[in-house]
Amino acid sequence: MSSILATRSEFDTCLQRFLKESNACPTEIFKWQIETSPSIIKLKFLKREINTIVSQADEESYGDELMTSIDMHNMDDEDAASLFNNQVESNPVSIHLEQHIVYSASYQVPVLYFKAVFGSNGAPLSLNDIHQYIVPKSRNPLHTTTPVVVSQNEHPVLGTPFWYIHPCDTSTLMRTLTFQPEDYIKTWLSVYGPLVKCPISMDMFKDRADAKGKKSFANQLKKK
């Protein structure tokens, strides 16, 4: 499979497939919706909004757990649930997140953009807040010691400031994973999403795994 989505058409196709699967998944609580740019050239991206409650104490331990997300689509339900279990022990803080999946024509990969505001007063999170409540102690999903690069830049479709995970390592990471080409978006999101509180339900990988198991069993029967 390719480590990139070479054209915007490929991205749009994968986006539509992911949207259909996500909306059909009963355990995918926060639903995505497709958005189209207001410009003459109609560019598509996905958007969803979630509310989460966090505390500084939670996040100090959460960062290390996030690094197992590269293997999440091979986890059982109990392991996947523990990965996203966010126990609020002290000083709970409500945060509203707006998350976008956008295509990068330069890197030919999807990019996760997000906005974050405090639920109590609607004030936007600063860079320090982002690292305190969203991505503290996160490392590179390639398991190196290089921190995940979260920056603020102009949204490539909307033209307004958004936080995003820089896509410079995305194709390298995707090259290390095994997946069907049409599953590019959900495989990518299973790795990068948890780094900025954008989880994906592991039930979205069950049908593929079950079908693979049934096919393997059928092939074994044919050989007998």
Q: Above 50 in pLDDT, residue 69?
A: no
3-state secondary structure of 74: helix
Half-sphere exposure of 166 (CA within 13 A, CB side): 11
How many CA atoms within 13 Å lie on the side-chain side of 42?
5
- Please answer whether residues 210 and 100 qualify as being in contact, where contact means their C-beta atoms are separated by less than 8 angstroms: no
Residues annotated catalytic, as ranges: 168
On average, the pLDDT of the chain sits at 80
pTM score of the predicted model? 0.78
The string of pLDDT tens digits covering residues 178-193 is 999 999 999 999 999 9
- Tokens (6 digits) for 164: 């995003």
* Strands 44-54 vs 109-118: parallel, antiparallel or unpaired: unpaired
Check if the beta carbon of residue 148 is closer than 8 Å to that of residue 140: yes
pLDDT of residue 207 exceeding 90, the answer is no
Q: Report pLDDT digits (tens) over 36-57.
A: 988 778 899 999 999 999 876 5
pLDDT, greater one: 142 or 59: 142
Q: What does the DSSP 8-state code read for residue 130?
A: I
| pLDDT for residue 78 | 58
| Distance between CA atoms of residues 95 and 216, nearest Å | 45
* pLDDT value for 38: 81
For 104-115, the pLDDT digits (tens) are 999 999 999 999
Residue 210 has pLDDT above 80, yes or no: no
Would you state the pLDDT for residue 135? 85
Q: Are 2 and 171 in contact (CB under 8 A)?
A: no
Mean pLDDT, residues 78-100 taken together: 69
Question: pLDDT: is 79 or 194 the higher one?
Answer: 194
Q: Can you tell me the mean pLDDT for 10-30? A: 95
pLDDT for the residue numbered 63 = 40
Of 119, 90, 97, 101, the residue nearest 189 (C-alpha): 101
Return the structure tokens found at 173. 């990471």
Using DSSP's 3-state secondary structure scheme, residue 114 falls into: strand
pLDDT of residue 86: 43
pLDDT value of position 66: 37
CA 156/CA 53 separation, integer angstroms: 29
Phi and psi, residue 45, nearest 5°: -155, 165
From edge to edge, which strands make up the β-sheet containing 150-154?
Answer: 33-36, 44-54, 93-104, 109-118, 161-165, 150-154
Whole-number Cα distances in Å, 218 to 74, 94, 118, 174, 222:
22, 50, 53, 30, 6
Question: What's residue 87's pLDDT?
Answer: 43
Structure confidence by residue, pLDDT tens digits, 146-157:
567 899 999 999
Q: Between the ranges 27-41, 54-68, 83-97, 138-152, where is the mean pLDDT highest? A: 27-41
d(CA 211, CA 224): 20
pLDDT value for 220: 40
For residue 117, the cross-strand partners are: 96, 124
Q: List Cα–Cα distances, 157 to 36, 53, 116, 189, in angstroms.
A: 9, 29, 18, 20
